[in-house]
Amino acid sequence: MTDRTGWQKTISWKAPLLMVGSLVVGVLLAMGHHLFYQSLQGTNISTTVALGQWLGIPSQRLNLGIGNTFALFIKVFLTIAVTTAYAQVFWRTIKAQSTTLAGLDALSGVLHNLFALTHGSVWRHSPLLLLAVGVWYVVLVQLLRLCRWRSETNANMVRT
């Protein structure tokens, strides 16, 4: 079905599938991450593990690598889900409401530029604001987690 301008009015299945699929994979990976670390709780740290024995990889380093890989993929899939949702809400909002060119620029760039959140038109479109804050939250949590891990590693090195 097309409207008077010739645009199709059908809803594509690709964007919702990408959104929901990425969200489901991200949640499943988060559950796997939790179960992986839960399985390690209470176990002794050996110098090597069966998988890394012939490589000489300490079990602590291998387990941290596996956990960080889980965390990286969780971040990737959740970011895909939220940015796809943002794109869908962005175009729906632009079609429904008029905005200035500066507002359009701020709304389209808020996922790449944290300072675009200071623009007034971003605050007038609350669904877009919530999604943009969600994207930045995922990024900032990853950075803070990395900073915390680095400081704990440095503190442990000083103690030994």
Q: What is the pLDDT of residue 73?
A: 93
Q: What is the pLDDT of residue 51?
A: 56
- Provide the domain limits for residue 110: 14-159
Q: What is the pLDDT of residue 18?
A: 93
pTM: predicted TM-score of the whole model, two decimal places: 0.69
| Residue 49 covered by a domain | yes
| Residue 8 covered by a domain | no
Q: What is the mean pLDDT for each group of 10 consecutive residues in the chain (160 residues)? A: 59 86 96 90 66 63 85 90 86 80 78 76 71 77 67 53
Domain count, the chain: 1
CA–CA gap between residue 66 and residue 36 (Å, rounded)? 9
Q: What is the pLDDT of residue 43?
A: 75
| Residue 4 covered by a domain | no
What one-letter code names the amino acid at 101? L
| Residue 26 covered by a domain | yes
Q: What is the pLDDT of residue 108?
A: 78
